[in-house]
Structures are given as structure tokens and as C-alpha cells.
Amino acid sequence: MKATITVLPGDGIGVEVTNQAMHVLSRIGTQYGHDFTFHEALIGGIAIDKTGTSLPDETLTIAEQSDAILLGAVGGPKWSDPTAPVRPEQGLLKIRKHFELFANLRPVKAYPALAQHTPLRAELLENVDILFVRELTGGAYFGPRQEQGDGDSAYDTMLYSVPEVARVAHVAFRAAQGRSKKLTSVDKANVLASMRLWRRTVGEVHEDYGDVALDHVLVDACTMYLMTRPASFDVVLAENMFGDIITDEASVLAGSLGMLPSASIGAEKFGLYEPVHGSAPDIAGQGKANPTGTLLSAAMLLRYSLGLEEEAMALEQAVEAALVSGARTADIAPRGGSYISTEEFTQTVIGAL
């Protein structure tokens, strides 16, 4: 197979982790007889510095000519002024909207080898393997808003339509069919009108998936259950803002935010793949970043955009083998213990391949 991948390193540790992902994908290509071509482009803070915008037209042009996008991270203190007219995060929202990437898949798995790195009891982490499906192009992040406010007030509108909810619900139900046939839909239907529409629409879509059990859970209860009985979840569907929050909370289950990958997909095979973590400017350039989230995102790229299931599984198994062997970056090393660099961890994964 020949495939072109647009790489958007972004800011901070994004450059380091995407570099390592390219090394691993190149190794996968060599090992399985594929030809992967990488084209780098600008997004985020570095794009603002060089072009004045967080998502240059040239980046969109390059991405449109590729089979998938691999993204590092955007943002940092240099561009953190919330009143600035141009911010790094705007580029991320714009690229999702441009390609209609309405479903964000975020798997969270608890690895036995890392059980000691979470604040939860080890028995709570047994058999934790959750797939979060987050709606990505609607809700308060994209609804009508008054940016600067009017005097002492401002607003953001959580706006959803039936088609928006239905299309992401179908993604979640299909995912549940391929797993344990259990779906939990997260909302705040007891307070918000948009969430009552959400719950009603998910229920209507459920009629097409009689083999899947559906539960509706309020978001505040869900946050508690994730810490007290996480293994009870399998596929979790949530709107944009709630999904953003609960998946960061769920990183505790995996031992570190650096462990979590994600895939942003739409109606076609094209997708954007990125770790859940941010640009971590405090450790940028020090070789301390955990590349796991990006390597697992690369595995999702192989699976969802390129249809290479065997290669995706091989990469996921190699990452787990590296963890079992004791390979640890700074964020998952024992307190006061030794750790290896971003590149050394990646080499351990390549060795496992």
C-alpha cells in the first residue's frame, strides 16, 4: 500500500512525539511492505508566529491531498492570552470542522504493568477497557457566543440538531456492536434542553441496534462512576464539552495523560489522529515526553484510515510489550526512580515489533 500522511507537529512536545511516530510508521511500512510518505505542515502557535494564523491555507491544501493527518499538540504560555484575536486552539477546531470530523474516538485501557501509577486500588482497574466516542463539531465549543461579553456578561450556546446527534450515535452503536454490545450515553438531560434532545435522539437511533444495551447516565454521575466502578463501562458516548472533560478524567485509569490516543473521524476513511495530551511546554525539548499516546494514535490511523488491522494490532501489542518489559518515561516511572527518554522508549517499541 502507498499512503500519504500529513504530519502537523504543532507546539511543545508535539514535535518530539510526532517524530517518534514517523519512525515507528516507517518501520511498520518496511516490515509489512507499505510505502508511507510524510508531509509536514504548520498548525497552532508556531503557525501564528510564522503566518499570523493558527491554520494556514497551505496546511489545509496539504492535508486535503493526504490519506490521514497525524497531529502532535498545540498551544503554550506564549499564546495563552484568552483575549487574543488569534489562538492556537482555533486552528484545531477549524481543521476538525473543515474535514467534518464529527466523531472523536478515545480508547482508555488500564495496563496491569502501570497499576501502581494510578491513585485507584488495583482491583478497580481490572478489565478496564473503555472506548469514549465524543461528538466533536457541535455543542458549546461551536455554538453562538459573545466572545468579549457585554459589560460584565458573556455567553456560549450549547446547540445541537437531531442529525448532528444521530450521526455520532450511529458511530458509537456500531463500535458497541464490535465490542461488548453495551453503550452508555452521557448527558445532562435533567437541566439542559439540548441534552434532552440528545437523549431522545440517541434513544431513537437505538431502535436500529436491538443487539446493543443502552444506558443513559448524567454527566455528574458518570464522573463519579469512572472513579468507583470504571470496569462497568464499555463504549461511552458524550457531547463535545462533556466528552472533553470525562476523557481527561479517565486518563487517571491509564496512569498518565501521556498514555491516551485519539482518532477524529467523519463519514469517510480520512481522519485526524492525535494524543489526548497537550503541548507540555514545561518538558519540551528535554526528551521526557511519553510518546505512547502518539504511537497508539498512529495505530488508530493504520486501522481506521488505511484499513491495516494487522499492522495496528502489531503496534499496539509492541507498545504493551515495551511497558511489560519495564520501559518507563518520566511520567510513568516510580517516584524517584529512573526513566528512559522519548526516543529510547520508541526504540523499545520498535524492538518489540
State yes or no: is 288 an active-site residue. no
| Catalytically annotated residue among 94, 129, 244, 339 | 244
State yes or no: is 156 an active-site residue. no
| Catalytically annotated residue among 78, 129, 182, 248 | 248
| Catalytically annotated residue among 32, 78, 188, 339 | 188
State yes or no: is 248 an active-site residue. yes
Q: Considering only CA atoms, give the Rg of the chain.
A: 20
Question: CA 173 to CA 237: how far, in whole Å?
Answer: 9
State yes or no: is 141 an active-site residue. yes
Question: CA 264 to CA 304: how far, in whole Å?
Answer: 10
State yes or no: is 150 an active-site residue. no
Task: Find all residues with CB under 8 Å of 231, minimum gap 6, and list them.
Answer: 124, 125, 126, 127, 128
Where does residue 127 rank: exposed (0-12), middle (13-18), buried (19+ CB within 10 A)? Answer: exposed
| Catalytically annotated residue among 111, 141, 160, 273 | 141
Question: CA 232 to CA 115: how far, in whole Å?
Answer: 18
| Catalytically annotated residue among 155, 220, 269, 282 | 220
Active site members: 141, 188, 220, 244, 248
